[in-house]
Chain A
Amino acid sequence: MNLPRILTKRNLTFSEFLYNFFATISGLTIFNLQFFKEVFLPPYEIPEIKKHMNELGVKTFPIVSVTGLIIGLVMAMQSLPVFMRFGATDYLPGTVALSVVRELGPVITALIFAGRVSSGIGAELGSMRVTEQIDAMEVSGINPFKYLVVTRIVATTFTLPLLTIYVIAIALFGSFFAITIEQGTNFEYYKNAVIDMLQFSDFIPGVAKTFVFGYIVGLVGAYKGYTAEGGTEGVGKASTTSVVLSSLLILLFDTILVKITLWLWPT
């Protein structure tokens, strides 16, 4: 795998910046191809993948729980006056649920995941790179790409959808709570109002795209870490640039995927 070198000096000129931009894009593409070349070949390192999934879950569980609850509460509280003005409060539960399931749940969970996990993978692999641990694996005849990179990308790809489903559930509970308190209604009312508007098929594109987001988080973090250079400073850089790049890519791919979804399943 021959990756283009990224210029690491400070104060890049505009042309050097452009060079780095395209070098990063092509580096990520090569990394991506290498992943698909290796992921289906044994050894599969299942225990390693399980370990990473477990760590990712534990690491992000508290923050996504709080965020999910607040998305639900705030969306309901913010929308209530508007719906009241139009006398359409019966549509409130369903509308909030729809935006949580199709867009807010997946994207906000993915962005939090990027902030917490992409930086973590960038720092972890970055420090393994600059302290020669990756070289040590290589000279022992072990494939570090397989053992370190592939396992992490697989883990992020499958952990994020699970987290997203959980966040959606918590957010729906949050909106139920806010609406019930404010409106003096009950669970039966909330349930019927949501079911009227939300179909099971609304879940599919929302959750499906989080596989892509999870993949992006793993890929970018691993790429930045694996290619880190220049000691501790390089590790820090790998960690922060992972967050920026994976967040941008998540938003970019969200736009593309929303467009594709609406084109395939017009509502």
Chain B
Amino acid sequence: MADVNIIRIENLTKRFDDFTVLDNVSINVKEGENLIVFGRSGTGKSVLLKCTIGLLKPDGGNIYIKDKNILELSTKELNKVRKHTSFLFQSAALYDSMTVRENLEFPLRKGGYNLSEEEIEERVHKNLELVSLSEAIDKMPSELSGGMRKRIGLARAIITEPEIMFYDEPTTGLDPITSKEISELIINLQKQLNMTSIVVTHDLICAKIIADRAIFLKDAKVAYEGTLDELVNSKDKFLQNFFSVDLINA
């Protein structure tokens, strides 16, 4: 893990009408680091990720990815930055009208990667194998279970071999074994490709496997920050309550 902040979020503020979801949030992520974002439902974790990649426009603050202020970039320049990032959506967001194969090919063909047909074919097979779903290649998304969709969504996200990944609840709704496999996949990607990740999750097992550092969003702010052990073993009543409930659920 190099000592460079590859993502810098400075004083990010986001409101919907008069409702402040994020209030002056600052977060740094080092190159090659896995940062976990905890928080109860509706505290703005997804909004945080979407602001970071430019899907939502913040009401204040600055966001730097690889030293580029993404709020000041033209669409063309922003897309250059996005070539090095990927996003796993909470809902997987598979393209309904395309088969699994076409879903995986789509970012490679349209994202300006200039790959040959053989390379595309090879990457599709390799990434489907990584998520253990080779047999689903010709299925439509509507034929897949929720967990399978999540895994295909993950395969589609990593197929472009990004340097930075944003995971929005990658293991929610998966059975414990798959959930563990996905978490191990995420940590392997970090190790093999030196990938940097921000992972939103409720899943303590997942967090235990992948976390280098964790933050906790509460009341529109970063309420706690530290290693996972520090947060889990905290004397703070709120955190103790959160993690004990979470363990029962897990």
Contacts and interface: CB of A to CB of B under 8 A. Distances in A.
A132 B90 CA distance: 9
Interface size class of A (residues with CB under 8 A): 10 to 19
Contacts, number: 52
Nearest to B17: A5
A140 B107 contact: yes
B107 A142 contact: yes
Interface string B87-113: 101110111110000000011001110
A141 B111 contact: yes
Contact of A139 (B75, B85, B91, B112): B85
A231 to B, nearest CB: 11
A147 B110 contact: yes
Interface of B: 50, 53, 55, 75, 79-80, 82-83, 85-87, 89-91, 93-97, 106-107, 110-112, 160
B interface majority secondary structure: loop
A97 B91 CA distance: 54
25 contacts: A124-B97, A128-B95, A128-B96, A131-B91, A131-B93, A131-B96, A132-B89, A132-B93, A133-B94, A135-B50, A135-B55, A135-B89, A136-B87, A139-B55, A139-B86, A140-B82, A140-B86, A140-B160, A141-B79, A141-B80, A141-B107, A141-B110, A142-B106, A142-B110, A147-B110
A127 interface: yes
Interface string A103-147: 000000000000000000000100110011101101111110001
A142 B107 CA distance: 8
Given A131-B91, A136-B93, A142-B110, 20 more contacts: A128-B95, A131-B93, A132-B89, A133-B93, A133-B95, A135-B50, A135-B55, A135-B87, A135-B93, A136-B87, A136-B95, A139-B53, A139-B82, A139-B87, A140-B107, A140-B110, A140-B160, A141-B79, A141-B83, A141-B112
B53 to A, nearest CB: 5
Contacts of B85: 139
B96 A127 contact: yes
5 tightest A-B contacts by CB? A141-B79, A132-B93, A136-B93, A140-B107, A139-B87
A142 B109 CA distance: 10
A133 B55 contact: no
Nearest to B80: A141
A88 to B, nearest CB: 54
A131 B112 CA distance: 24
Contacts of B94: 133
Interface string A135-161: 110111111000100000000000000
Contacts of A140: 82, 86, 106-107, 110-111, 160
B95 A138 contact: no
Contacts of B91: 131-132
A141 B85 CA distance: 10
A127 B91 CA distance: 13
Most buried by B among A127, A132, A136, A142: A136
Most buried by A among B50, B85, B89, B110: B110
B144 to A, nearest CB: 14
